[in-house]
Chains A and B, each alone.
Chain A
Amino acid sequence: MNQMQRRSAMTRSTRLNRAAFGAIGLALVTGGMTHFAAAQNRPPADQTKIEQKKPEYSPYLDQNFPNRVYWGVAHVHTGYSFDAGMFGITLTPDDLFKVATGGEVVLDNGLRFKQDRPLDWVAITDHAEYMGISDEIRAGSPDLLANPQGKRWYEMSKQGPQEGVKAAIEAVVSMQNGKPVFDASKLTATAWAHATAAAEKWNQPGVFTTLHGFEWTSAPGGNNLHRTVIFRDNADRVSQVVPFSTFDSQDPADLWNYMDAYAKKTGGQVLAIPHNGNLSNGLMYTAETFDGKPMDPAYAETRAAHEPLLEATQIKGDSETNPYLSPNDEFANFERWDINFNKMEPAQNNVLHGNYVRSALRLGLEIDAKLGANPYKSGLIGGSDAHVGVVTQREDNFFGEFANGLPSPERWKTPLAMVNNDPSKGPLMSVWGEQAAGLGGVWARENTRDAIWDALKRKEVYATTGDRPIVRLFAGWDFVPADLDRPEPDFAANGYAHGVPMGGDLTKAPAGQHPVFMVHALRDPDGPNLDRIQIIKGWLGADGKTLERIYDIAVSGGRTIGPDGRCMTPVGSTVDVANATYTNSIGAAMLSAYWKDPEFDATQRAFYYVRVIQIPSPRWTAYDQKRFHIKMPDYVPMTVTDRAYTSPVWYSPAT
């Protein structure tokens, strides 16, 4: 039994003791305090009484529920990724972990980088394909040069970043075809050994968690089906396998088989997170299998079991929703990358429903009604996807997606792709379109591999587009308005005892009851105030078609919510673009809401997730303008309304 196993065994036995203790405690404690274990006959929340009881020495007794948000990303790259490395990034997992824990590194353009605050956990997810090849290219290794394609890449990379980008694009094309032009499997095995060793070295239970992971980079014809793959286990298990690549298969079902084989071989656990549906040309979230056959129940169940989360936001655009899909959502037009990667042109509207997570959640309800299984019963998380060797999600500290987006006066206008790959047609997307994003907030009790991973698996997580607002959600049938005002830990104890947190399920609606949602949202201590809290509801109508609706459930600044559940008065803006500043003189530091779905129909499947909108703040482009003394054209946005998306709570009628 290794240390981690011992630790989790200890945690388990402690939990049992705590549960027993909680039950005894219930009999002893009186007054305004409600224990987590007090699942029945809870006393009303008492707002005035100061309890005279001498407390236990340990403030954490009887709190067996997640009580803290741990911030991290399950998606970021180092120089071990072929595209990062071929673009000129030499930083390694050691460098990334050093930065994530609060250290400083020098990036590949000579600039120094430090995070505003350390992260709590990170999964480095370098591409499985050609993993470690960049080292060989830099060194001009004979193994590589013996291969004509390898020699070509070597020579291109020597000519500088722009040629290196072209070489990386050739590698990308080979991945789109699913056929390697250079057998890098030996390099990959070596790089994987290094990556897992680095993750072990930096993992510090209780302080900083590293999760082992990689990215499976399937993109048939350029259409993005990428997944990050995140392990729960230590290197003793993880190093028994090598990363599964798109050269092994482009079909996600084969990735799930690989994951099952890992679990069977090692007794470990692993999950996958799809990302950049926005670049999938409608293929990420469909009702079909990879081969285009209709899903059957087993397929739908398998997908949901392996992919408990969807990445809703990251540097290469936000994937929550789109104005075409959500015409009544004035916040939908947000950091969009609607690109057809197959043709390298703007995406057509008729594929967008397969690109965005909100439409995936809706489609999931439809499929569930037909098959009895919901393939898209997945929570939401934010990722980074930075390929520069650090996590860089803050507007005021954004170091770009690739080496060509590292800070410089010219970076904003550097093209990332040309229309139809034809230079004469102009840029399809340039660096200014990159979004400074994103993070995953994980509700857990401790900062360890098992605690963080288990929270990912049970979907008790949420996405933010870069800041660190706290969002807590409980849904249930019989919460009363006073429950919202219970101070912690009573609020959470009561929430878990009588409802479910984000990522949970409601079913068996009591006759005549409507589901109630309680939300607390607290802004980032060093971030913009909150504009509003919203519930995004999706449901399956009687005609078998899904619908969506937005409810504002708390708004700042004395504005009112109309009978239609909306507040159409914007919060305003304090952004001074020229100076790249804002003030928290509008909005609220904290918002809370108690909301009962007014239009609930117990026969209809539904999901509800919370979206918290921050007040506008300067976008990273505004900081570039200020710091480099430059002026960008008017089409480059200078403000941003960063936000958070929670994992949904699902309702399904009893079956």
Chain B
Amino acid sequence: MKRFVREPLVHFLVLGALLFVGYGLFNRNSEPAPAQIVVSQGQLASIVETFTLIRQRSPTREELEGLIRERVREEVYYREALALGLDKDDLIIRRRLQQKLEFVSEDTAAQAAPSAADLNAYLQAHPDKFRVEQKFTFRQLYLDPQKRGANLAHDAAQLLAELTQAGGDTSVTAVGDPFPLGNSFSAETAGEVANRFGKKFAANLSELETGSWEGPVESSYGMHLVFLKERTEERPPALAEVRDAVRREWDDARRLGVNDEFYQGLLKHYTVTIEQPTAEAAK
């Protein structure tokens, strides 16, 4: 929502309003000298920039002159309309001003980049959002219940015995049934394992012995023999590991909360009285 604050028009309006107020204060009782309208270098640059952004080319000389004439015309009308009080009690202008103040408050929040301490505080306050998941490095062999039928348990036991005897971290690319998810997984998070094999399998892995062939371990698909080479446990992260994620969440929380906070702050400056509706209006 920075866009509204960046809009050259916004700068111009603010400037215009200040000029107007100044004009009114100092020239109230004298014959008005012709008012000044200055289209500054900066405003010219932003006219060109806006045009270029939309059309993907620079304006021609004629186009630029047209844009400047329009800007001057807009300014003249704007000042005269203010002088006539046309901004009062206009629903659209009221809404627009409300919206602009909201954008300003959001933008102020966005520009105030959080310090490391801010982020750390957010991380400490929401540890579950950023916890480093349990990770597994493992090999698995799949035993297809459809293919093995009644022999499933027997086959599993026999294969496990063979694997155990063959010893340790044996390459097992040529046994087991085909399984399209693959047989080797490196530093796979518990969430990812659950997504791919089902929650039950992931839960089983977190109980499994490391360094030996184990099983059969049940998954969403059937039975597996698993060699769990390494398991790293779940832990709270250091800020450096999750800084981007914390920043996204922090931004998000600010985005959702900031306007209300700002409004509540402003509201404190007011006493609000709401009159009882008349009997007629309440019907």
Binding site for B on A (CB under 8 A): 31-33, 45-55, 58-60, 67-68, 94, 98, 117-118, 139-142, 145, 185-186, 189-190, 193-194, 201-202, 204, 241-242, 470-472, 484-491, 520-523, 525-526, 556, 588-590, 592
Contact = CB atoms under 8 A, between A and B. Distances in A.
A33 B252 contact: no
Given A186-B54, A242-B54, A588-B146, A59 B174 contact: no
A488 B95 contact: no
Contact of A590 (B144, B166, B173): B144
Interface in B146-202: 146, 162-163, 166, 169-186, 191, 194-199
Range for the number of chain B residues in contact with chain A = 35 or more
A485 B178 contact: yes
A589 B220 contact: yes
Contact of A33 (B93, B171, B248): B171
Given A32-B173, A470-B181, A488-B181, A525 B92 contact: no
Given A487-B183, A589-B145, A525 B220 contact: yes
Contacts of A32: 173-174
Given A201-B248, A522-B181, A525-B221, A185 B54 contact: yes
A326 B150 CA distance: 41
Interface string B92-133: 110110010000000000000000000000000000000000
Interface in B48-100: 50, 53-54, 56, 91-93, 95-96, 99
B178 A486 contact: yes
A47 B163 CA distance: 14
A94 B181 CA distance: 31
21 contacts: A32-B173, A50-B174, A51-B171, A51-B172, A54-B171, A55-B171, A60-B186, A98-B248, A118-B195, A139-B95, A139-B96, A142-B96, A471-B180, A487-B142, A491-B180, A523-B221, A525-B221, A556-B146, A588-B146, A589-B146, A589-B222
Interface of B: 3, 50, 53-54, 56, 91-93, 95-96, 99, 139, 141-142, 144-146, 162-163, 166, 169-186, 191, 194-199, 219-222, 244, 248, 251-252, 255
B179 A487 contact: yes
Contact of A59 (B184, B221, B248): B184
Given A59-B185, A186-B54, A489-B173, 20 more contacts: A46-B174, A50-B170, A53-B171, A54-B169, A60-B186, A94-B251, A139-B95, A139-B99, A140-B92, A142-B92, A185-B54, A470-B180, A487-B141, A487-B175, A520-B179, A522-B179, A525-B195, A525-B196, A525-B219, A525-B221
Instruction: Label chain A's interface by main secondary structure.
Output: loop
A68 B182 contact: yes
Contacts of A48: 174-175
A47 B177 CA distance: 9
B225 to A, nearest CB: 11
A484 B179 CA distance: 11
B221 A522 contact: yes
A142 B199 CA distance: 53
A520 B184 contact: no
A102 to B, nearest CB: 8
Contacts of B95: 139-140
Nearest to A191: B3
Contacts of A118: 191, 195
Nearest to A240: B56
A94 to B, nearest CB: 7
B94 to A, nearest CB: 10
Contact of B220 (A145, A471, A485, A526): A526
A486 B162 CA distance: 19
A556 B147 CA distance: 11
A472 B222 CA distance: 19
Contact of A487 (B173, B185, B194, B199): B173
A590 B54 contact: no
Contacts of A60: 184, 186
A47 B173 CA distance: 10
A50 B99 contact: no
Contacts of B196: 525
A266 B71 CA distance: 34
Contacts of B199: 526
